[in-house]
Amino acid sequence: MTTVRQAVFDLLRSLGMTTVFGNPGSTELGFLDRWPTDFRYVLGLQEASVIGMADGYARATGRAAFVNLHSAAGLGHALGNVFTAYRNQAPMVITAGQQARALLPNLPFLGASEAAAFPRPYVKYSIEPARAEDVPAAIAHAWHVAMRKPWGPTFVSVPADDWRASCWPVPARVVAQDVAPDPALIAEAARAVAAARRPVVVVGPEVDQEGAGEAMVRLAERIGAPVLTSPFSSRLSFPEDHPLFAGFLTAAPQAVSEALAGHDLVLVVGAPVFTFHVPGDAAIFRSGTPIIHLTTDGEAAASAPAGTSILGSLRLSLPALAERLPEASGRVPPPPRRRPPPPAPAHPIPAEFLLHRLHRAMPEDAILVEEAPSHRPAMQAQVPMRRWGSFFTMASGGLGYALPAAVGIALAKPERRVVCLIGDGSMMYSPQALWTAVQHRLPLAVVVVNNGGYGAMRSFSQVLQTRDVPGVDLPGLDFVSLARGMGCPGARVTRAEELDDALAAAMRSTGPALVEAVVDAAVPTLYARS
């Protein structure tokens, strides 16, 4: 036999989970005692930042991250980014300390009355083991569930005195992660796609997540149809310089219906059907247009209001569908997508100009992590993404994701420049992550788009026809001082002619660097009115 602590460390080694993201407390000291030299502990200064870093690391590596939080209050701080990790399908095993078992009947300090219930429903599996000796097996179970598609976070609550208990080691196991699609449904889908005269393909984040990007490109080229990115796609869905790429769907039912109205078949790959943010007339679901849906996500399949959903790993589904299609469809390729002309400099700096210059400054293999939702249409126009694994954002609306996620991605990919594009409002949700980036000297450029407020709220006020909404202006923030207080150099740019030098310096920095760009506060248009 061995101890629970030793069994857990041996298990983590066998699973390749030797990087631990955490924020420690007294109930975790039994786990942290005599920290092994072959493990890396990544300290975050607030639990939401810890989860965001683990999320970015997990999504960049394709492997579940291990997280150690502090008791109930610490998990409570983290829940916003736990929700985001669930929506992002980011695999991770979250552990949190619990008060000693002997004290639990007496409502002790730091005790969680219903620890396993606390993070539900935004974890795939949650448990506080009934016995100390069950802790290693519970963590193994949590890892396998986190890595079962669709990926996601899991949770294990560990009482403080469990780590020294005796237990049997947990052997490493192999559990299949891929599920093959129904061959009959794939054959039926192939017949429908081949017969369509004006098909369209809508692609989402599961493609990049599964490493199925090249298979997706081959399928699209076999079909010869225009390709659109699904609403709120949290990763690169299709190379945005490809001749078949036709643009982005917005999260409004009427706008989606109008974009798809001219087509006689819609093939949706790796995305829900569809993610909406505002109400409206979803005429596409009443039109009778066939919708064929390929996904790994059973919940997305169950919630689709129309069409045929085929469950299966995309790395198996996409080649299977392509093999059943004819070599040449004879379809006329879509016309080249119109690109906006380069924006002109002005004062104050237009957001479009900032994003155009950022695109020119970024290295070819840079990874962009974005949380500037009011500027997303401008980013999509000015910063075309081309490489798989080069773009990440959040699938949820919870703010405070991008900066810690960028830190986690930089820890996972230290050989590449990571660029965090973040709004001024978003930046204030998890600024603590900058400190971690400084401690690890990560190649991270943080570009804060400062438009003096919550730009998305300003835009929604127009969409929803509301007026005089309080709490949307953010005067008096100094992001350069904030960064310098954590050891990160920064520069504030207020004029267009200063921009190129500041961005170039941030891209050359051997550690993290911040650029605060003060931009025009003009209200962007996020969605067509529904």
Point out the catalytic residue in the list 22, 28, 128, 509: 28
Point out the catalytic residue in the list 22, 30, 49, 70: 70
Point out the catalytic residue in the list 16, 211, 298, 397: 397
Point out the catalytic residue in the list 26, 166, 303, 481: 26
Tokens 């919550």 — which residue? 454
d(CA 479, CA 437): 16
Pick the closest to residue 511 from 491, 488, 486 (CA basis): 488
Q: Which amino acid is it at 112?
A: A
Point out the catalytic residue in the list 141, 277, 293, 440: 277
The structure tokens listed for 426 are 């978003």
CA distances from 272 to 213, 300, 388, 438, 520 (A): 18, 5, 20, 38, 34
70 catalytic? Reply is: yes
Establish how many alpha carbons lie within 13 A of residue 203's alpha carbon, considering only the half-sphere containing its beta carbon: 29
Point out the catalytic residue in the list 30, 44, 47, 111: 47
Pick the closest to residue 314 from 507, 150, 89, 138 (CA basis): 150
SS3 category, 312: coil
CA distances from 240 to 247, 251, 374 (A): 8, 19, 20
Name the DSSP letter for residue 268.
Answer: E
The structure tokens listed for 122 are 């935004």
Cβ atoms < 10 Å from Cβ of 164: 13
d(CA 513, CA 483): 8
CA distances from 90 to 81, 152, 163, 193, 353 (A): 11, 5, 27, 32, 33
d(CA 145, CA 168): 21
397 catalytic? Reply is: yes
Point out the catalytic residue in the list 25, 56, 74, 280: 25
- Give the per-residue SS3 of 320-367: HHHHCCCCCCCCCCCCCCCCCCCCCCCCCECHHHHHHHHHHHCCCCCE
47 catalytic? Reply is: yes
- Contact in structure between 514 and 489 (CB atoms under 8 Å): yes
Cβ neighbors of 159 (< 8 A, separation 6 or more) are: 27, 97, 98, 99, 100, 101, 104, 128, 132
The structure tokens listed for 265 are 């078949």
323 catalytic? Reply is: no
CA distances from 257 to 188, 244, 261, 274 (A): 24, 20, 6, 10
What string of DSSP letters covers 421-436?
EEEHHHHTTSTTHHHH
Catalytic residues: 25-26, 28, 47, 70, 277, 397
